């Protein structure tokens, strides 16, 4: 039914490839009147790894949900590969794009085994069992959970649950991966290991990724571009390009360049959190 396994056609066009997502003066005002996002302009290029960072309430999760089409902008619009979300994600064969979202929590179905959880997007898309089984096995292998396919979520550690959640997003072979603070609840050691694996995964599969985090180290380590956001209302405060070739190696964390980037980003964040008249109004 779906042509998920077929090689995708590259986007035709003379110049640079179409950006994966464009946010065009999109803003978000919640029904209770809270202005979560002032009009935002942002383009995420094909293959980029972008991190959104900022103080609590700066609207980074809201921006990510806009990109996932989980919520609609109050004004302005977004485009995915230069078309609407529905056109891009349910278009004709070959040009159909997949957007995957990794939530803050693992959001696994507690009653289903790991393999069933990972297979869910394929089941919902009506992919036949033999085809989906192979893809589930491949996705689980990529996140290192091959030995745990028959386990229930409650039998896994926090880090392993997150790995299962990532496998579920990879199983659809996404063109755009949106991650909302996926490793926020994990200890630093586990987080670093997952970050190392994520870097490799995204590079190998040339994934376009937008990643929300609170951690300066994580932002610097992962991204090609860090978007610093400020509150009151949520807006883009600054952009920091991390000019370190991908895929990043663990040793980058111990380098002087890494420390320098962290210092710069930390300075930007400090200024972002005091900027604006209504700064820190929303928790």
Partner 1 sequence: MTAPVIRSEAALSVVAPTLVGIVLVLVWEIACRAGGVPVFLLPKPSDIALKLASDWPTLLRALGMTLRVALQAFAASIVLGTLIAFLFVQSRILEKSLLPYAVLLQVTPIVAIAPLIIIFVKNTQAALTICATVVAIFPIISNTTLGLRSVDPGLINLFRMNRAGRLATLLRLRIPSALPYFFGGLRISSGLALIGAVVGEFVAGTGGRSAGLAYEILQSGFQLDIPRMFAALFLITLAGIALFVVMVGLSRLALGQWHESEIGAET
- Residue whose CB is less far from partner 1, 173 or 244: 173
- Residue whose CB is less far from partner 1, 147 or 154: 154
Q: Could you tell me the smallest distance in angstroms from the CB atom of residue 70 to partner 1? A: 6
Applying CB under 8 A, the residues found at the interface with partner 1 are 68-70, 90, 99-101, 103-105, 107, 109-112, 120-121, 123-125, 152-155
Q: Could you tell me the smallest distance in angstroms from the CB atom of residue 90 to partner 1? A: 8
Q: Could you tell me the smallest distance in angstroms from the CB atom of residue 155 to partner 1? A: 8
Q: Could you tell me the smallest distance in angstroms from the CB atom of residue 264 to partner 1? A: 34
- Residue whose CB is less far from partner 1, 19 or 121: 121
DSSP assignments along the chain, one per residue: ---TTSPPPPPP-SSSPPPSEEEEEEEEE-TTS-EEEEEEEEEE-TT-EEEEE-STTSSHHHHHHHHTTSS--SEEEEEETTB-HHHHHS-STTT---EEEE-SS----TTS-HHHHHHHHHHHHT--HHHHHHHHHHHHHHTT-GGGTT--GGGS-HHHHHHHHHHHHHTT--SEEEEESTTTTS-HHHHHHHHHHHHHHHHHTT-EEEEE-S-HHHHHHH-SEEEEEETTTBEEEEEEE---PSSPPGGGGGSHHHHHHHHHHHHHHHHHHH-STTTT---
Q: Could you tell me the smallest distance in angstroms from the CB atom of residue 120 to partner 1? A: 7
- Residue whose CB is less far from partner 1, 123 or 278: 123
- Residue whose CB is less far from partner 1, 121 or 276: 121
Q: Could you tell me the smallest distance in angstroms from the CB atom of residue 121 to partner 1? A: 5
- Residue whose CB is less far from partner 1, 110 or 245: 110
């Amino acid at each position: 039914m779906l042509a998920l396994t077929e090689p995708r056609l590259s986007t035709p066009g003379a110049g640079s490839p179409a950006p994966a997502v464009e946010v065009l003066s999109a803003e978000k005002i919640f029904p209770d009147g809270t202005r979560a996002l002032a009009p935002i302009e942002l383009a995420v290029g094909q293959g980029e790894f972008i991190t959104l960072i900022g103080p609590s309430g700066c609207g980074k999760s809201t921006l990510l949900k806009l990109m996932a089409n989980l919520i609609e902008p109050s004004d302005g619009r977004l485009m995915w590969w230069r078309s609407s979300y529905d056109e891009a994600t349910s278009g004709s064969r070959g040009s159909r794009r997949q957007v995957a979202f990794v939530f803050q929590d693992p959001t696994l179905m507690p009653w289903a085994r790991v393999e069933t959880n990972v297979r869910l997007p394929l089941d919902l898309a009506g992919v036949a069992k033999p085809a989906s089984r192979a893809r589930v096995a491949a996705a689980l292998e990529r996140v290192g959970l091959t030995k745990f396919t028959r386990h229930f979520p409650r039998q896994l550690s926090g880090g392993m649950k997150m790995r299962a959640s990532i496998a579920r997003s990879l199983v659809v072979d996404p063109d755009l991966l949106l991650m909302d603070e996926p490793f926020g609840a994990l200890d630093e050691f586990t987080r670093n290991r997952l970050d190392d694996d994520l870097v490799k995964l995204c590079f190998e599969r040339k994934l376009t990724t937008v990643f929300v985090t609170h951690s300066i180290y994580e932002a610097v380590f992962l991204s090609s571009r860090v978007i610093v956001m400020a509150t009151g209302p949520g807006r883009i405060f600054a952009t920091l390009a991390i000019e370190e070739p991908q895929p990043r190696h663990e040793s980058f964390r111990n380098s002087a360049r890494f420390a320098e980037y962290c210092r710069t980003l930390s300075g930007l964040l400090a200024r972002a959190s005091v900027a604006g008249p209504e700064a820190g109004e929303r928790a």
